[in-house]
């Protein structure tokens, strides 16, 4: 299969890029590894308070709205179709065979860091639906990590009737406003957490929430330049490889949120279309 642009990743960045490419008359295909588009917003069941001009909608609503917009425009999206390896030229290996395009857009985002833990019925890795899937009422929950997500999730556990304790190896990095909203014990300093025994520093817990931040996910194969683990891009969104662009959280170019991911996707689409 041959097209002008292959957009790898159907999160907010990739979907916004594909929607704009379609409107600008550039042939593009979105490859999405998951069974649905929307990326991390699909695991966000909370109201997205950070989309200017959009109120009363959850992250999952936003994921759905982007998917519907793309579908209405006739954007071609292949679900359950990960880009397995990228080659110069550009060829993209997928489970459906090889695809060829003159431009690539890498919009593969990030995944929560597991830090050696394994997701299970008692251990949630990352915020959102993994945490919400655990029945926390009346249970002792250790939240590991000291960022915004650790404090947000500890607050949600408390609101759902659980008993949360935050363990942070270093002085928490969570914003003051987030910390101020969260009234749970915070243990600062080195700790030993044992998933088998479900203990932290020997204290037994029913559930763990692992909130160790996120790491970029990048398909292998191209000699891309990285900065601090993220794909380096210029202001046009182009990577160190000509005609390979990247947008959204995989780049760490802007503050990580849905609005900037969408804006970055738009920027890349515009740059590709103007040539
Ligand atoms: C619980 C939670 C709550 C959040 N709440 C908010 C909020 O309220 N407001 C806000 O603005 N932001 C919020 N965020 C952050 C926001 O979701 C992200 O900033 C945004 O989704 C980043 O978009 P992205 O497209 O760059 O990456 P992602 O959303 O990570 O999307 C990347 C996509 O690429 C796909 N992919 C990865 N590798 C491959 C591959 N090899 N081949 C094909 N596809 C691939 C993934 O499956 C995924 O669908 C939240 C995040 C979480 C986890």
Domain ranges (residues) in the chain? 2-111+214-274, 114-210
- pLDDT band for position 92 (50/70/90)? very high
Residue-level pLDDT at 1 = 78
Q: Are 4 and 103 in contact (CB under 8 A)?
A: yes
- The residue among 180, 52, 38, 174 whose CA lies nearest residue 107 is 38
- pLDDT band for position 275 (50/70/90)? confident
Ligand 1 in reach of 17 Cβ (< 6 A): no
The average confidence (pLDDT) of the chain is 97
pLDDT at 164 over 90: yes
232-248 per-position pLDDT tens digit: 999 999 999 999 999 99
The dotted CATH code for 114-210 is: 3.50.50.60
pLDDT at 198 over 90: yes
94-103 per-position pLDDT tens digit: 999 999 999 9
**Cα gap 61→84, rounded to integer Å:** 29
Which residue's C-alpha comes closest to atom 45 of ligand 1? 9
**How far, in Å, is the centroid of ligand 1 from the Cα of 70?**
17
Ligand 1 in reach of 236 Cβ (< 6 A): no
pLDDT at 145 over 90: yes
**Cα gap 245→238, rounded to integer Å:** 4
Q: Are 85 and 99 in contact (CB under 8 A)?
A: no
**Cα gap 261→10, rounded to integer Å:** 11
Can you tell me the mean pLDDT for 149-171? Answer: 97
**How far, in Å, is the centroid of ligand 1 from the Cα of 11?**
5
Which residue's C-alpha comes closest to atom 37 of ligand 1? 108
**How far, in Å, is the centroid of ligand 1 from the Cα of 261?**
8
Residue-level pLDDT at 199 = 98
Residues forming beta bridges with residue 3, ordered by sequence position: 101
Task: Let me know if the fold of 2-111+214-274 is the same as that of 114-210.
Answer: yes
Which residue's C-alpha comes closest to atom 30 of ligand 1? 109
**How far, in Å, is the centroid of ligand 1 from the Cα of 41?**
6
Residue-level pLDDT at 2 = 83
pLDDT at 125 over 90: yes
Can you tell me the mean pLDDT for 66-82? Answer: 98
Fold of 2-111+214-274: FAD/NAD(P)-binding domain (3.50.50)
Ligand 1 in reach of 112 Cβ (< 6 A): no
Instruction: Tell me the whole-structure pTM to 2 decimals.
Output: 0.93
Ligand 1 in reach of 33 Cβ (< 6 A): yes
**Cα gap 188→257, rounded to integer Å:** 27
């Amino acid at each position: 299969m041959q097209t002008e642009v292959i957009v790898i990743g159907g999160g907010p960045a990739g979907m916004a890029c594909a929607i704009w490419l379609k409107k600008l008359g550039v042939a593009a295909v979105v490859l999405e590894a998951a069974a649905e588009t929307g990326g991390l917003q699909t695991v966000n069941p909370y109201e997205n308070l950070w989309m200017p001009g959009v109120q009363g909608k959850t992250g999952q609503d936003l994921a759905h709205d982007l998917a519907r917009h793309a579908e209405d425009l006739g954007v071609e999206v292949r679900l359950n179709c990960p880009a397995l390896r990228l080659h110069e030229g550009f060829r993209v290996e997928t489970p459906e065979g090889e695809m060829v395009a003159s431009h690539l857009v890498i919009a593969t985002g990030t995944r929560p860091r597991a830090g050696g833990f394994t997701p299970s019925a008692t251990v949630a890795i990352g915020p959102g639906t993994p945490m919400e899937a655990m029945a926390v009422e009346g249970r002792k929950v250790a939240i590991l990590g000291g960022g915004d997500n650790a404090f947000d999730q500890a607050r949600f556990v408390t609101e759902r009737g659980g008993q949360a304790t935050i363990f942070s190896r270093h002085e928490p990095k969570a914003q003051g406003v987030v910390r101020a909203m969260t009234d749970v014990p915070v243990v600062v300093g080195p700790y030993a957490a044992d998933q088998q025994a479900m203990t932290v520093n020997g204290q037994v817990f029913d559930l763990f929430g692992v909130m160790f931040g996120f790491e970029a996910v990048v398909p292998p194969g191209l000699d891309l330049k990285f900065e601090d683990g993220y794909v380096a891009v210029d202001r046009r969104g182009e990577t160190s490889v000509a005609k390979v662009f990247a947008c959204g959280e995989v780049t760490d170019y802007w503050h990580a949120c849905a609005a900037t991911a969408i804006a970055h996707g738009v920027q890349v689409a515009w740059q590709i279309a103007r040539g």
